[in-house]
Amino acid sequence: MSRRKMIYEGKAKILYEGPEAGTIVQYFKDDATAFNNEKHATLEGKGVLNNRISEFVMLGIGRIGIPTHFLKRLNMREQLVRKCEIIPLEVICRNVAAGSMSKRLGIEEGTPLSRPVVEFCLKNDELGDPLIAEEHITAFNWATPLEIDEMISMTLRINDYLCGMFAGVGIRLVDFKVEYGRHFDGENERTILADEISPDSCRLWDLETDEKLDKDRFRRDLGNVTEAYADVARRLGIMKESPTAIPANDEATS
């Protein structure tokens, strides 16, 4: 909101200074982009859905003992999060070949992987978030070996938790992307889960029909994008309302 000081505007979110030191307000926009901004659209209600879905997922992940930046949801489009220094990496975990893995390695989309695969990409839009090796991360000091170990083990635990959570509502977790941050608390520094987990950052397929319920509907022009996100929210028991009932205005409160 305009009365707050904006810290950063990303493609799908805006960060504002929070009400207390060490906090940030994370605002979920309706904007959707793909292929590094080549494709752009406003999907009415997407921000509201991602705010709610990400809240639900972050709370669940917190309950299994993984530290996250999430503090509380403030309203339909905003959540209060802990301030942290984002580690400039996108950590991807895959259970089934799809997307860039299928393209790069020539593996048919939908092929189950014999074990979850964790990949690191450099968070750099200009370079198109290139896939990198752990050696690049340590050579260029993007993260320490300890942080790499922590990110891999947390990502695999998140994957186990989310696979079960989604399977319980008839959804296959194909892959997802997470980001981590360094949280400073006096002398202590720890690695925490940051950003969001939503259908923007996961591939979610219906278990029975393989119907896509995620941002690939936008990337691949499949239509009914927010309807699919609302379906995910409904299945998780988060939102009962239909997407048309979601107010687009910023001041809306829950």
Q: Which 14-73 residues touch ligand TMP, going by CB under 6 A?
A: none
User: In the stretch 187-216, what mask flags binding to ligand ASP with x, by CB under 6 A?
Assistant: ----------------------------x-
Binding flags for ligand TMP, 97-116, as an x/- string (CB under 6 A) = -xxxx---------------
Question: Which residue lies nearer to ligand ASP by CB, 77 or 203?
Answer: 203
SS (HEC) of 118-186: EEEEECCHHHCCCEECHHHHHHCCCCCHHHHHHHHHHHHHHHHHHHHHHHCCCEEEEEEEEEEEEEEEC
Smallest distance from ligand ASP to CB 102, Å:
14
Q: Based on the shown chain and the rule CB under 6 A, indicate whether residue 250 belongs to the binding site for ligand TMP.
A: no
The footprint of ligand TMP on this chain (CB under 6 A) covers a number of residues equal to 12
* Residue 203 structure tokens: 């591939």
Options 16-24, 42-50, 186-194, 201-209: segment touching ligand TMP (CB under 6 A)? 201-209
Residue 159: partners with Cβ closer than 8 Å, 6 or more residues away: 93, 95, 116, 173, 176
The phi and psi torsions of 251 (rounded to 5 degrees) equal -85, -5
Looking at residues 22 to 41 of the shown chain, list those that interact with ligand ASP (rule: CB under 6 A): 33-37
Distance CA 83, CA 69 (A): 7
Side chain identity at 219, as an amino acid letter? R
Residues 37-96 that bind ligand ASP (CB under 6 A): 37
Stretch touching ligand TMP by CB under 6 A, among 50-58, 62-70, 160-168, 196-204: 196-204
Contact indicator for 5, 186 with CB cutoff of 8 Å: no
Q: Does residue number 182 form part of the binding site for ligand ASP (CB under 6 A)?
A: no
The CA distance from 200 to 58, in Å, is 15
Span near ligand TMP by CB under 6 A; candidates 14-22, 48-56, 172-180, 231-239: 172-180
Residue from 201, 228, 231, 236 touching ligand TMP (CB under 6 A): that is 201
What are the backbone angles phi and psi of residue 219, rounded to the nearest 5°?
-55, -40
Here the tokens at position 118 are 């964790």
Binding residues for ligand ASP, rule: CB under 6 A, are 11, 33-37, 215, 219
Binding residues for ligand TMP, rule: CB under 6 A, are 92, 98-101, 129, 175-177, 201-203
